[in-house]
């Protein structure tokens, strides 16, 4: 729609010029535009491939050379080691041969008849062409391939017989005999040594005759020369490698595999230019003091050939890699450009259809990428223009809607508050300012929940925010409603109904909160609700009767009453009640009557409602109350009795006083008599009368004692289930007067609902009475204003607890232990039996008593009793 308002779309070629700024760039660009994409891709692919190859060649060549050299070195090492091992192996063959020969039967047989006289320089027998008989067939078959000699020497080392296999003479050095080194008995000895300046291998073993007599040794002497070395290296596929034995000290070649190439006697250094030389030390052969090296010679040119072969192979691989790279790269670019082409076409189509831009004039042979770029710039400009237009329009609309919104906000009777994501106030309408008693400036930026909500509602509010967000996410009507308590700036609170609307603007979240004061509504609701339930819910009978005695209304609890009167809702009351109704209507005040129905006693309150001409009758079942009163009266008598019994201290003092009277009278009478008798004054009759008085007074004393005994006498305890609170209240009523006299009120803090216990009530009351009495006694010692006494009952798990706490002087720690001992008292007229008796009583009941004292804070006595297993509501209600 919008784009049609635009002047015609500019042609694509127009914009071309603006894109290219410099002439050089222009030329390049011209060329670039013409070349089709696949060609460019191939060109680029080639260039990149070549570059990659070139770089790889440089970098890899060196790396490969390094690797190849290393590889070569290890190969050479391996070859050298192999050569040496072969050499060694070859050497060992000789040892085996010597052992075989020395221990062969033919030698032993040969030596059997022989005996070598010890001589200074015996002339040895030399065998040349044919081997001697002591050499067995083995030698004949495996003719020693080198010019070796086999000697028989006597025990002193003098040579006795020699077998010479080739045409080489025995070295001169041996003419004087073989050295001691070789003559070790019982062991094959191998020695590489220098004889006449050349290296020789000497292997020797003991030679014995048939009887095991040691004749001497069999020694094989082998020159280590080219033949020896060649034989040792036979079968090894050497890469043009030569081996040689080198003297370490002189660095001189002693023997080589090819004396024509490496002539013995030359120095090792002379060959370094031609060969790559690897040397290894020769294993030490029995007692040799000659340091020898085993050297492997490999000509340099063969080494070079080897490494260049490796390098060529590598290069081939690289070329292949570069080629594959070019191929893949070109293909990918080609595919991408083809795809781009398609996109371009589709976009062009779209632009023509939707935006009216002309065909950019793509030719098949042009560079699609460049064209696309040009076209897209053009497109972007158009879109930009359109967007500006749109935003201008939008701004105008926005301003209008803002004004409207502001007006609505202002006029709204509800408080409207806008919060940001963090819950801070960013806007509020005048109603909100008024309702919350806070000015705009004060409110903005503050946290809504902290400023305007009562502390207990904040969580609820956060919950509502969350709900609203969730609702919006789930696409429901994004609103959360709830009732909360709001708070004004002055701290006063009032109920509100909240509705939260979350708003999402440019990825920022806001909440708009609509708040309606519902104080009046709440109150009204409450009022109506409570009124409506009034009568119906009452557990007591409530009736409404008109002046003629017709029952207009009766609640559920009233049913038994109506039944007893033989009437029902809509019928007439009995005459007696109707009469009361009449009286109530005449009089000013309500009339109260009591009536007995069956076992129940009801109190009936006739309340006239003159405006409506009705009388309301409020019934109340007072059976329990009456029973409780009777019970209490009976019980009180019991208690008074036991109280006298328990407070034996007081009883005893009274009794002592009473007993004093007759005793003093008796004493007086008696003394009077004796005086008269002494002074012979008294008349007979008077004396007799006095004696009679004595007797009477004695009887009187006896009577007192009998009474005392009766008073202290035990009664069988009776257990019954009773509310502990009831006992406390009763005890309270007994001491109320005494406490009042000393300006002390007793505070009762009783477990609501009562605690049922199974006890002998008289005894437990006695205990309680003693505790309260003790407390009152203690309170006598502090000024009246400081007298506090609390009796508390609590149900703690299975136990019922009574705590008697006073603000008296407390109990000194050292007296604590003695409290429950009989006759411990600190009072002038005290007996000290109250607490011990209490303890006994509680133990009888499976309970306990405990005293605590807070210094200067009074004393605390704590009683525990097991609660009765079942609570009987009728008894609990007695309290």
Partner 1 sequence: MNSEPTRTVFVVDDDQAMRSSLKWLIESIGMQVKTYGSADEFLNSYFPGRAGCLLLDVRMPGMSGLELQAHLARDDSRLPIIIITGHGDVSMAVKAMKSGAVDFIEKPFHDEDLLTSIRNALEFDEKQRVLQSQRAEIALRLATLTPREHEVMDMVTDGRANKEIATVLGVSAKTVEAHRARVMDKMRARSLAQLVRMVLVAGGNLQSP
Ligand X SMILES: Nc1ncnc2c1ncn2[C@@H]1O[C@H](COP(=O)(O)OP(=O)(O)O)[C@@H](O)[C@H]1O
Can you give the binding site for ligand X, defined by CB under 6 A?
A: 649, 770, 774-775, 778, 806, 808, 811, 819, 824-827, 830-832, 834-835, 859
Q: What residues form DSSP beta bridges with 150?
A: 163, 220
Question: H-helix or E-strand containing 89?
Answer: helix 37-102
Q: Where are the beta strands (DSSP E) in 756-826?
A: 756-759, 789-796, 799-806
Closest CA to 107 of 243, 265, 215: 215
- The helix or strand, by DSSP H or E, that contains position 620, with its residue range, turns out to be strand 614-621
Q: Residue 656 touches which of ligand X, partner 1, Mg ion, none (CB < 5 to 8 A by kind)?
A: partner 1
Question: Nearest-CA neighbor of 600 among 552, 633, 634, 565?
Answer: 565
Report how far residue 144's alpha carbon sits from residue 129's, in angstroms, rounded to the nearest whole number.
13
Residue 838: closest CA among 852, 819, 854, 825: 819
696 belongs to the binding site for partner 1 (CB under 8 A): yes
Stretch that binds partner 1, among 457-465, 493-501, 671-679, 764-772 (CB under 8 A): 671-679
Q: Among residues 680 and 785, whose Cβ is nearest to ligand X?
A: 785
Kindly indicate which of the ranges 109-117, 570-578, 580-588, 829-837 contains the residues binding Mg ion, using the contact rule CB under 5 A: 829-837
Cross-strand bridge partners of residue 858: 854
Euclidean distance between CA atoms 825 and 228, whole angstroms: 132
Closest to partner 1 by CB, 558 vs 649, is 649
Residue 191 · residue 183 · CB < 8 Å:
no
Name residues contacting partner 1, limited to 251-310 (CB under 8 A).
none
Handedness of CA 390, 392, 393, 398 (dihedral sign): positive
Query: What span, in angstroms and rounded, lies between the C-alpha atoms of 357 and 349?
Result: 9
Three-state DSSP class for residue 645: helix
CA distance 689 to 111: 175
Q: Say whether residue 774 binds Mg ion (CB under 5 A).
A: yes
- Nearest residue (CB) to partner 1, 172 versus 683: 683
Which partner in ligand X, Mg ion, partner 1, none is near 663 (CB below 5 to 8 A by kind)?
A: partner 1
Smallest distance from the beta carbon of 658 to ligand X, in angstroms?
Answer: 20
Give me Rg for the CA atoms of the chain: 68
What's the rounded Cα separation, in Å, for the pair 722 and 875?
6
Please tell me the count of residues contacting partner 1 according to CB under 8 A. 28
Residue 418 within binding range of partner 1, rule CB under 8 A: no
Q: Report, in Å, the least distance between residue 830 CB and partner 1.
A: 12
Q: Does 699 bind partner 1 (CB under 8 A)?
A: no
The option from partner 1, Mg ion, ligand X, none interacting with 219 (CB < 5 to 8 A, set by class) reads: none
| Partner that binds at residue 675, options Mg ion, ligand X, partner 1, none, CB closer than 5 to 8 Å by kind | partner 1
Nearest alpha-carbon partner for 149 in 130, 132, 166: 166
For 152, other C-beta atoms within 10 Å of its C-beta total 25
Is 664 a residue that touches partner 1 (CB under 8 A)? yes
Closer residue to Mg ion in complex, CB, 83/853: 853
Shortest distance, CB of residue 740 to partner 1, whole angstroms?
Answer: 24
Segment contacting partner 1 by CB under 8 A, of 353-361, 433-441, 674-682, 770-778 = 674-682
479 binds partner 1 (CB under 8 A): no
In Å, how far from its chain's centre is CA 861? 48
Residue 258's nearest CA partner among 277, 239, 240 is: 240
Tokens representing 375 are 């076209």
**Residue placing its CB nearer to ligand X in the complex, 97 or 774:** 774
Phi, psi of 207, deg, nearest 5: -115, 125
Tell me: does residue 668 bind partner 1 (CB under 8 A).
yes
**Considering only residues 581, 666, 767, 819, which one is a binding residue for partner 1 as defined by CB under 8 A?**
666
Q: State which of residues 626, 676, 719, 729 lies at the interface with partner 1 (CB under 8 A).
A: 676
> For partner 1, which residue of 62, 660, 745, 780 counts as binding (CB under 8 A)?
660
Residue 193 binding Mg ion, by CB under 5 A? no
Q: Which residues pair with 161 in a beta bridge?
A: 125, 152
> At its nearest, how many Å lie between partner 1 and the CB of residue 744?
24
Q: Which is nearer to partner 1, 261 or 698 (CB)?
A: 698
Determine the Cα–Cα distance for residues 457 and 656; give it in Å rounded to an integer: 73
The one of ligand X, partner 1, Mg ion, none whose footprint includes residue 342, by CB under 5 to 8 A per kind, is none
Which one of 182-190, 612-620, 664-672, 854-862 is the stretch in contact with partner 1 (CB under 8 A)? 664-672
Residues forming contacts to partner 1 in the complex (CB under 8 A) are 653, 656-657, 660-669, 671-673, 675-676, 679, 681-682, 690, 693, 696-697, 700, 828-829
């Amino acid at each position: 729609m919008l784009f049609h308002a635009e002047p015609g779309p500019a042609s694509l070629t127009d914009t071309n010029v603006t894109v290219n700024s410099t002439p050089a760039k222009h030329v390049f660009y011209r060329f670039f535009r013409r070349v089709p994409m696949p060609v460019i891709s191939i060109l680029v692919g080639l260039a990149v491939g070549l570059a990659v190859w070139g770089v790889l060649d440089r970098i890899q060549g060196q790396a490969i050379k390094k690797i190849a050299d290393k590889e070569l070195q290890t190969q050479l090492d391996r070859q050298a080691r192999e050569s040496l091992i072969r050499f060694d192996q070859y050497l060992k063959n000789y040892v085996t041969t010597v052992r075989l020969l020395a221990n062969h039967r033919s030698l032993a047989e040969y030596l059997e008849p022989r005996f070598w006289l010890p001589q200074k320089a015996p002339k040895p027998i030399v065998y040349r062409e044919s081997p001697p008989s002591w050499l067995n067939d083995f030698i004949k078959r495996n003719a020693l391939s080198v010019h070796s000699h086999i000697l028989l020497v006597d025990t002193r080392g003098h040579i006795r017989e020699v077998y010479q296999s080739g045409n080489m003479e025995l070295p001169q050095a041996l003419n004087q005999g073989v050295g001691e080194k070789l003559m070790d008995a019982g062991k094959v000895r191998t020695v590489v040594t220098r004889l006449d300046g050349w290296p020789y291998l000497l292997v020797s073993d003991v030679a014995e005759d048939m009887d095991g007599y040691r004749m001497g040794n069999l020694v094989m002497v082998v020159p280590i020369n080219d033949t020896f070395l060649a034989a040792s290296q036979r079968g090894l596929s050497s890469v043009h490698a030569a081996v040689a034995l080198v003297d370490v000290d002189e660095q001189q070649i002693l023997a080589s595999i090819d004396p024509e190439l490496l002539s013995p006697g030359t120095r090792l250094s002379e060959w370094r230019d031609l060969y790559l030389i690897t040397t290894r030390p020769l294993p030490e052969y029995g007692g040799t003091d000659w340091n020898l090296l085993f050297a492997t010679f490999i000509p340099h040119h063969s080494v070079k050939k080897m490494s260049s072969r490796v390098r060529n192979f590598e290069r081939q691989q690289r070329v292949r890699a570069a080629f594959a790279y070019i191929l893949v790269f070109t293909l990918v670019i080609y595919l991408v450009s083809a795809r781009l082409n398609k996109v371009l076409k589709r976009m062009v189509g779209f632009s023509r259809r939707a935006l009216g831009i002309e065909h950019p004039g793509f030719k098949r042979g042009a560079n699609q990428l460049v064209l696309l770029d040009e076209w897209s710039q053009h497109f972007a400009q158009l879109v930009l223009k359109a967007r500006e237009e749109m935003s201008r329009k939008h701004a105008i609309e926005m301003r209008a809607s803002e004004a409207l919104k502001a007006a609505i906000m202002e006029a709204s009777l509800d408080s409207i508050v806008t919060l940001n994501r963090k819950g801070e106030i960013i806007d509020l309408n005048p109603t909100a300012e008024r309702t919350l008693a806070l000015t705009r400036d004060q409110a903005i930026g503050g946290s809504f929940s902290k400023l305007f909500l009562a502390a207990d509602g904040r969580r609820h509010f956060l919950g509502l925010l969350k709900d609203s967000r969730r609702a919006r996410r789930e696409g429901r009507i994004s609103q959360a409603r709830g009732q909360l308590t709001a708070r004004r700036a002055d701290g006063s609170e009032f109920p509100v109904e909240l509705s939260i609307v979350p708003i999402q603007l440019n990825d920022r979240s806001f909440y708009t909160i609509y708040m309606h004061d519902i104080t009046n509504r709440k109150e009204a609701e409450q009022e109506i609700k409570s009124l409506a339930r009034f009568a119906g819910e009452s557990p007591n009978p409530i009736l409404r009767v008109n002046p003629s005695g017709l029952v207009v209304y009766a609640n559920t609890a009233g049913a038994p009453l109506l039944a007893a009167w033989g009437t029902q809702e809509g019928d007439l009351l009995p005459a007696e009640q109707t009469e009361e109704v009449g009286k109530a209507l005449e009089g000013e005040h309500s009339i109260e009557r009591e009536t007995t129905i069956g076992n129940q006693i009801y109190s009936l309150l006739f309340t006239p409602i003159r405006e409506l001409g009705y009388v309301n009758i409020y019934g109340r079942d007072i059976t329990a109350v009456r029973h409780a009163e009777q019970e209490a009266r009976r019980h009180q008598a019991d208690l008074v009795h036991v109280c006298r019994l328990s407070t034996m201290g007081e009883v005893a003092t009274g009794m002592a006083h009473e007993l004093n009277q007759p005793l003093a009278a008796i004493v007086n009478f008696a003394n009077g008599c004796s005086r008269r008798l002494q002074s012979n004054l008294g008349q007979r009759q008077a004396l007799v009368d006095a004696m009679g008085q004595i007797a009477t007074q004695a009887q009187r004393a006896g009577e007192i004692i009998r009474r005392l005994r009766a008073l202290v006498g035990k009664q069988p305890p009776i257990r019954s289930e009773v509310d502990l609170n009831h006992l406390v209240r009763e005890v309270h009523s007994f001491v109320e007067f005494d406490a009042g006299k000393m300006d002390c009120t007793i505070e009762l803090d009783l477990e609501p609902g009562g605690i049922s216990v199974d006890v002998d009530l008289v005894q437990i009351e006695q205990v309680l009475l003693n505790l309260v009495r003790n407390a009152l006694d203690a309170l006598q010692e502090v000024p009246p204003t400081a007298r506090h006494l609390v009796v508390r009952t609590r149900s703690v798990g299975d136990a019922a607890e009574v705590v008697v706490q006073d603000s008296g002087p407390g109990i000194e720690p050292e007296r604590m232990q003695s409290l429950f001992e009989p006759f411990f008292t600190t009072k002038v007229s005290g007996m000290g039996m109250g607490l011990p008796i209490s303890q006994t009583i509680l133990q009888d009941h499976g309970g306990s008593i405990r005293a605590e004292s807070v210094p200067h804070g009074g004393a605390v006595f704590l009683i525990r009793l097991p609660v009765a297993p079942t609570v009987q509501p009728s008894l609990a209600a007695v309290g």
